[in-house]
Amino acid sequence: MAREAKKFSRPALVTHSDALPLDSALLLSMHGHMLRARCLEERLIAMYKQGHGYFWIGGPGEEAFNVPLGLLIKKGQGPAFDFLHFHYRQSATLLAMGEPTIGALRQMKNTATDPYSGGRNFAGHFSKREWNVAPVTSPIEVQYAMAPGTALAQKRLGGDAITIVTGGDAGTAEGDFASCLVWSSRPGQELPVLIVVTNNRWGISTPYGQVQGVQKISDRAVAFGIRAKTIDGNDPISSYLELKEAFEYVRTERKPYLVEANVSRLYGHSSASGANMTTAEADCLAQFEALLQRHGLLTAAKAKAMREEITEQLLAEARLVRDEPQPDPSTIFDHIYA
């Protein structure tokens, strides 16, 4: 694609067999977040299977992309900070931003203590106003219609805060995706939106190629003059570097950028399709651990020990959450209005 040719302050990529292009502290921190996110999703699935929740949906398989995304976000409340319109596979991003794991368990168990919805909404439906995390909602793609609104407020304010919107590939068939492209690229009024599509090539059971003729979703941006790129979302290093470039562009140019990240879906669509591990798709965590081992940054024993420790901690949190009360039925009318 012609538009990809022009690079924006892109750090030189060094091949992985050589020295890694990110410093080892960052690499290990990314690995830690990815591992914790994976363990969290596995704990949520286990809770669902044990009857400690009604439904599971989440992001195992997207960690290599979602963690760097979280690390690059400028978090805080109000238009001076990044605004986040996420879909339901974003746990790794939240963890990378510093969110504790226990809230997700509480939401899975729909306890009164669920910090995102008070036991009202499904797993993975985060909401955190302190960090501008807009409520994740089930209707596919609606967040793309809202993103230009927060971005307009940010553009008006000045500064470098941006809006980030994420969603899947199948959802791009909805009109709201087109709305986002139209509204963020009005001539002379372009908006600082990082438009993300995580492409796992599935919409529940429907393969992408069966229903959409666009070769690359990033091509959709071309007609709008929006800079865009398709990247390997299974590689946390290239995800970090590509996202860094995209963030820099949106922050400084105050214009939209579309990133399409090819990712895996490792436990199927949701609990409705069984939530069982598939080996048919690339596992970004296993790949990254192998890479770190090849470079002497991690040992198999260390990785195993880390996993055990996180799993143990999540188990303890799950036990705690198990005994927490459900929301009181008298609260159903609370918060209809502010």
Ligand X SMILES: Cc1ncc(C[n+]2csc(CCOP(=O)(O)OP(=O)(O)O)c2C)c(N)n1
Residue 38, beta-bridge partner list: none
Query: Can residue 25 be called a binding residue for another protein (CB under 8 A)?
Result: no
Closest chain position to ligand X (CB): 168
Contact residue for another protein among 39, 69, 95, 147 (CB under 8 A): 147
Contact residue for ligand X among 60, 61, 203, 268 (CB under 6 A): 203
Cβ-based neighbours of 55, under 8 Å, separated by 6 or more: 48, 122, 123, 270, 271, 272
Contact residue for ligand X among 103, 118, 167, 236 (CB under 6 A): 167
From CA 203, how far away is CA 107, in angstroms rounded? 24
Smaller CB distance to another protein: residue 65 or 183? Answer: 183
What is the token pair recorded at 301?
């024993």
Contact residue for another protein among 36, 38, 89, 128 (CB under 8 A): 128
Query: Can residue 79 be called a binding residue for another protein (CB under 8 A)?
Result: yes
When CB distances are held under 5 to 8 angstroms depending on the partner's kind, the choice from another protein, ligand X, none that residue 299 binds is none
Least Cα distance to 118 among 326, 265, 338 occurs for 326
Q: 133 and 68 in contact (C-beta within 8 Å)?
A: no
Contact residue for another protein among 13, 182, 272, 300 (CB under 8 A): 182
From CA 207, how far away is CA 5, in angstroms rounded? 30
Smaller CB distance to ligand X: residue 9 or 205? Answer: 205
Q: 203 and 171 in contact (C-beta within 8 Å)?
A: yes
Per-residue binding string, ligand X, 75-114, x by CB under 6 A, is --------------x-------------------------
Contact residue for another protein among 42, 62, 82, 176 (CB under 8 A): 176
What sign for the dihedral angle of Cα 323, 89, 95, 158? negative
From CA 9, how far away is CA 106, in angstroms rounded? 42
Per-residue binding string, another protein, 82-101, x by CB under 8 A, is -x-x----------------
Binding segment for another protein among 68-76, 117-125, 215-223, 267-275 (CB under 8 A)?
Answer: 117-125
Binding segment for another protein among 6-14, 179-187, 216-224, 264-272 (CB under 8 A)?
Answer: 179-187
What is the token pair recorded at 125?
């439906």
Interacting positions 136-165 with ligand X (CB under 6 A): 138-140
Q: What does the radius of gyration of the chain's CA atoms come to, in whole angstroms?
A: 20
From CA 255, how far away is CA 190, in angstroms rounded? 5
Contact residue for ligand X among 200, 218, 230, 238 (CB under 6 A): 200
* Rama region for 76: left / alpha / beta (φ>0; ψ in -120 to 50; rest): left
Q: How far is the CB of 327 from another protein (least distance, A)?
A: 9
Terminal alpha carbon distance of the chain: 47
Contact residue for ligand X among 204, 300, 305, 332 (CB under 6 A): 204
From CA 166, how far away is CA 198, in angstroms rounded? 7
Q: How far is the CB of 326 from another protein (least distance, A)?
A: 14
What is the token pair recorded at 290?
């192998």
Least Cα distance to 125 among 75, 90, 92 occurs for 90
Q: By the criterion CB under 6 A, which residues form the site for ligand X?
A: 89, 138-140, 167-171, 200, 202-204, 269
Interface positions with another protein (CB under 8 A): 78-79, 83, 85, 114, 116-118, 120-121, 125, 127-129, 134-135, 137, 139, 142, 144-154, 156, 163, 175-176, 179, 182-183, 186, 334-338
